[in-house]
Amino acid sequence: MKHSHYLTGGLFFILVVSFAISAGTGEVAVAGRTPAAAAAPTRAAKTAAVSIVEPPFQPVTTWSYRPAVLKVRVGATVTWTNTGAVLHTVTATDHKSFDSKDIKPKTSFSFTFKKAGTFPYFCSYHPWMKGTVIVTP
């Protein structure tokens, strides 16, 4: 029985040390997976997608753009897809940069960003629905 105490204590020590090491990196080690920091760099995508979401059995105030903030490079095309059951829009808050007009359910709107900047937008039918596209050079 004396040895089981040492075994339990040893396992606990290993877990604590493993946690302390991974806590410093902000990464969680998962068997068979490479942490994101070690992944090979990739080129910036030429396209990006945003879903217009209406969670079922939830108040309309939970409807949203996902992701709400999207970072892309100049020249990228962003496509918003209406996965819901009602009309939505993707309207730049400056009312000049872009405006999808009506996006019917199960259809999409695409826009290519030709200059760097921060582009906030909203749904003209549901103004609490807001998003932002951040375009970098």
What is the full per-residue pLDDT of the chain (137 aa) written as tens digits? 555 444 444 433 333 333 333 333 333 333 333 333 333 333 566 999 999 999 988 999 999 999 999 999 999 999 999 999 999 999 999 999 999 999 999 999 999 999 999 999 999 999 999 999 999 99
Nearest to 132 by CA among 116, 117, 123, 119: 119
Distance between CA atoms of 74 and 54, rounded to whole angstroms? 29
The reported pTM is 0.67
Distance between CA atoms of 15 and 67, rounded to whole angstroms? 35
Whether 56 contacts 83, CB under 8 Å? no
Chain-centroid distance, C-alpha 23: 23
Residue type present at position 113: F
